[in-house]
């Protein structure tokens, strides 16, 4: 519908589309109505009441995020009364919020703080009882701090509507309302998949990642240890945002240099391990195709997805690729082959993964991923943690001279690069699988049908006359929708990629917070980060994992061939059902 209506905003007439809310219309006319609980990707909550406006003829103030337009509507966004009421509302939020901005993780990056500043609130008005709860530190990945919660409900909506996990909900009433997992269970025992999307959308610091920076600093200062880092593909596409750069600047060289300055002895690339994953995964897929194994095969790189699958889709365990994630493959090689090469006892190697992902902190502790009785990845630090560490170490990140990764795990193909974007694993795997299956090189390697940010994308490729149908889902809610199709029609697809976070790893729960004038998980931001990886892929001369000479050398010197005994021992694993307490079966509504 493109019906137009005439409205007036603050006395000025505008001709706008009818089919939108007051807020959307005001945005298009250059009025940015202050807002807090609103998020364009989530349902309308109408909870914070910060975006109220006056509409002539209406007794009450109207929440502009929720109210549709009508012809002749006379809207006032900035009267004395509205400004005062808005200010009162933000003051009320502040009055039940800890006064500890200067020691808060979101200091300088907090939507409530920004709003209070913009409203001109310089002192507190209604001081009174303030809520106090204990922090929930039980999770490996996400800390829940209800004291800082302003009950905007974004986390609840994210967890329910986008992720389909339903780990969070409001409980209790009135002043005692609090967001918590069911039955106030510790986060660690809840159905939380540790994806960290609640952190991404939280306007304050009610959800933050479990911080491992102090532990990491201590290791970096220990000269008896060999400190090895690996960097996930999407970290380099977003880390610049932590230093004030716009999204989409690839800061690979700067990150490598900064990590060396922080004290790492070796800086490797998770993209190398991604290439390794592709060789294993593509081979596994072809084995399943040729030997009539369980299909569709579903990727297993995303840690949040793995926990989600164990909890809600244990019936699909046989369909899950046995490949470990690139991080865990990389760490396994570091603690075995690499340790041998540099002649260091693997016990004296600290394997650190710099990830975009809070769920990797959970993955690192999984007993299934142990290598020779050791935790393969010792510490996982997310992009945000590394940003602070670089800042606190006084490293001039923006002006630092870019450096190259160390060998042997520093070289990667374009296929490894695009792992960070939804559809990338599938694209990379097909580039290799095609060649392994047909013996010919895939010419048109950019599979546009599975690129982009649609929730579920499907495509197909023909290999020697055999049609391979593939599907890609990003965000766990979309994964749910796709898997419901698979449960009903297992034959429909041969190969499925699932990424737990919206947009894939580039939208991970550990990425820098949205900048002051932008929205968390804004599609424009995700697109820019994705483009940073796609353009990197295009620039590379080696764009297929199996063409990576360092990978070839690793197989020659150490692993033998894909799916060899050694590969199985180090690079593959099996998952077990992990049905959450009190949940026998569940259904979420279509998103």
Closest contact distance (angstroms) between CB of 380 and other proteins is 34
| Region near other proteins per CB under 8 A, out of 61-69, 307-315, 394-402, 487-495 | 61-69
369: which 2 tokens? 């991923």
Among 17, 24, 27, 95, binds other proteins (CB under 8 A): 95
Is 360 catalytic? The answer is: yes
In Å, how far from its chain's centre is CA 411? 24
Question: How many residues does this entry show for the chain?
Answer: 591
Name the catalytic one among 159, 202, 301, 323: 301
CB of 430 within 8 A of CB of 289?
A: no
Question: Applying CB under 8 A, which of residues 25, 110, 143, 151 lies at the interface with other proteins?
Answer: 151
What are the angstrom distances between the C-alpha of 209 and each of 142, 240, 259, 367?
Answer: 5, 19, 20, 21
Residue 451 Ramachandran class (φ > 0 left, ψ -120 to 50 alpha, else beta)? beta
Least distance (Å) from other proteins to the CB of residue 153?
Answer: 7
Q: Considering Cα of 168, then 170, then 172, then 178, what sign does the dihedral take?
A: positive
Q: In the bound complex, what is the minimum distance in angstroms from residue 102's beta carbon to other proteins? A: 23
Is residue 363 annotated as a catalytic residue, yes or no? yes
* 284 in active site: yes
User: Is residue 505 among the annotated active site residues?
Assistant: yes
Q: Are strands 226-231 and 349-355 parallel, antiparallel or unpaired?
A: parallel
Would residue 491 show up in a list of annotated catalytic residues for this protein? no
281 catalytic, yes or no?
yes
Q: Does 63 bind other proteins (CB under 8 A)?
A: yes
Q: With respect to other proteins, which residue has the nearer C-beta, 60 or 224?
A: 60
Kindly tell me which residue out of 5, 18, 29, 92 binds other proteins, with binding defined by CB under 8 A: 92
CB of 91 vs other proteins, minimal distance in Å:
9
Determine if 53 is a binding residue for other proteins (CB under 8 A): no
* Of the residues 172, 221, 372, 441, which one makes contact with other proteins according to CB under 8 A: 172
261-289 burial, b if ≥16 CB within 10 A, otherwise e?
bbbbbbbbbbbbbbbbbbbbbbbbbbebb
Helix (H) or strand (E) holding 229: strand 226-231
88 contacts other proteins (rule: CB under 8 A): yes
The nearest distance, CB 65 to other proteins, in angstroms, is 8
Distances in whole angstroms, Cα of residue 152 to Cα of each of 37, 84, 114, 207: 5, 20, 16, 13
Closer to other proteins at the Cβ: 52 or 471? Answer: 52
By the rule CB under 8 A, 161 interacts with other proteins: no
What is the bridge-based pairing of β-strands 466-474 and 495-499? parallel
Please confirm, yes or no, whether 219 is among the known catalytic residues.
no
Q: How many CA atoms lie within 13 A of 221 on its CB side?
A: 7
18 part of the interface to other proteins, by CB under 8 A: no
How many whole angstroms separate alpha carbon 247 and alpha carbon 338?
Answer: 34
Three-state DSSP at 75 gives strand
Return the structure tokens found at 144: 């829940």
The one segment of 45-53, 221-229, 260-268, 508-516 that binds other proteins by CB under 8 A = 45-53
The nearest distance, CB 185 to other proteins, in angstroms, is: 17
Q: Which of the residues are catalytic?
A: 281, 284, 301, 321, 360, 363, 368, 505
Which residues make up the interface to other proteins (CB under 8 A)?
44-50, 52, 59-61, 63, 66-68, 84-85, 88-89, 92-93, 95-96, 125-126, 128-129, 150-151, 153, 169-170, 172-177
């Amino acid at each position: 519908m493109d019906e137009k209506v005439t409205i007036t905003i603050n006395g000025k007439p505008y001709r706008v589309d009818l089919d939108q809310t007051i807020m959307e219309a005001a945005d298009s006319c250059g009025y940015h109505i202050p807002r807090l609980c609103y998020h364009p990707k989530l349902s309308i909550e109408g909870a914070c009441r910060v975006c109220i406006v006056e509409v002539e003829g209406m007794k009450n103030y109207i929440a502009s995020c929720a109210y549709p337009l009508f012809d002749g509507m006379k809207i006032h966004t900035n009267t004395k009364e509205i400004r005062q009421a808005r200010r009162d509302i933000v003051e009320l939020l502040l009055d039940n919020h800890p006064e500890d901005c200067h020691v808060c993780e979101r200091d300088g990056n907090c939507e409530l703080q920004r709003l209070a500043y913009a409203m001109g609130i310089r002192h507190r008005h209604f001081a009174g009882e303030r809520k106090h709860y204990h922090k929930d530190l039980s999770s490996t990945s996400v800390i829940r701090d209800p004291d800082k919660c302003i009950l905007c409900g974004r986390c609840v909506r994210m967890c329910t509507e986008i992720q389909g996990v339903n780990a969070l909900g409001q409980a209790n009433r009135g002043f005692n309302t609090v967001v918590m997992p069911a039955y106030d269970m510790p986060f660690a025992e809840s159905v939380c998949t540790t994806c960290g999307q609640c952190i991404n959308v939280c306007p304050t610091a009610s959800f933050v990642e479990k911080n491992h920076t102090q532990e990491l600093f201590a290791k970096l200062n220990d000269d008896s240890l060999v400190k090895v880092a690996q960097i996930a593909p999407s970290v380099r596409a977003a880390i610049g945002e932590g230093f004030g750069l716009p999204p989409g600047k690839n800061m690979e060289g700067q990150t490598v240099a900064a990590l060396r300055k922080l004290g790492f002895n070796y800086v490797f690339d998770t993209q190398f391990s991604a290439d390794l994953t592709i060789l294993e995964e593509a081979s596994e897929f072809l084995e399943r195709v040729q030997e009539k194994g369980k299909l569709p095969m579903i990727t297993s790189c995303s840690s949040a997805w793995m926990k989600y699958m164990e909890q809600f889709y244990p019936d699909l365990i046989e369909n899950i690729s046995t490949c470990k994630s690139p991080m865990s493959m990389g760490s396994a090689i570091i603690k075995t082959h690499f340790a041998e090469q540099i002649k260091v006892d693997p016990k004296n190697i600290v394997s650190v993964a710099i990830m975009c992902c809070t769920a990797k902190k959970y993955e690192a502790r999984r007993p299934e991923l142990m290598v020779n009785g050791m935790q393969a990845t010792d510490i996982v630090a997310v992009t945000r943690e590394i940003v602070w560490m670089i800042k606190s170490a006084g490293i001039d990140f923006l002006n630092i001279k870019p450096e190259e990764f160390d060998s042997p795990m520093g070289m990667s193909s374009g296929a490894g690069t695009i792992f960070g974007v939804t559809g990338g694993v599938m694209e990379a795997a097909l580039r290799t699988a095609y060649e392994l299956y047909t013996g010919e090189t895939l010419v048109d390697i950019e599979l546009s049908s599975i690129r982009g940010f649609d929730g579920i994308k499907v495509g197909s490729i023909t290999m020697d006359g055999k049609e391979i149908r593939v599907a890609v889902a990003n965000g766990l809610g979309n994964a749910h929708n796709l898997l419901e199709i698979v449960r009903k029609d297992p034959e429909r697809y041969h190969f499925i990629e699932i990424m737990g976070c919206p947009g894939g790893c580039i939208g991970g729960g550990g990425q820098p917070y949205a900048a002051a004038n932008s929205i968390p998980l804004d599609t424009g931001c995700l697109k820019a980060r994705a483009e940073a990886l796609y353009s990197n892929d295009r620039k590379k001369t080696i764009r297929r994992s199996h063409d990576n000479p360092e990978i070839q050398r690793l197989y020659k010197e150490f692993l033998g061939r894909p799916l060899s005994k050694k590969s199985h021992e180090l690079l593959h694993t099996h998952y077990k059902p992990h049905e959450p307490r009190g949940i026998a079966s569940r259904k979420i509504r279509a998103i």
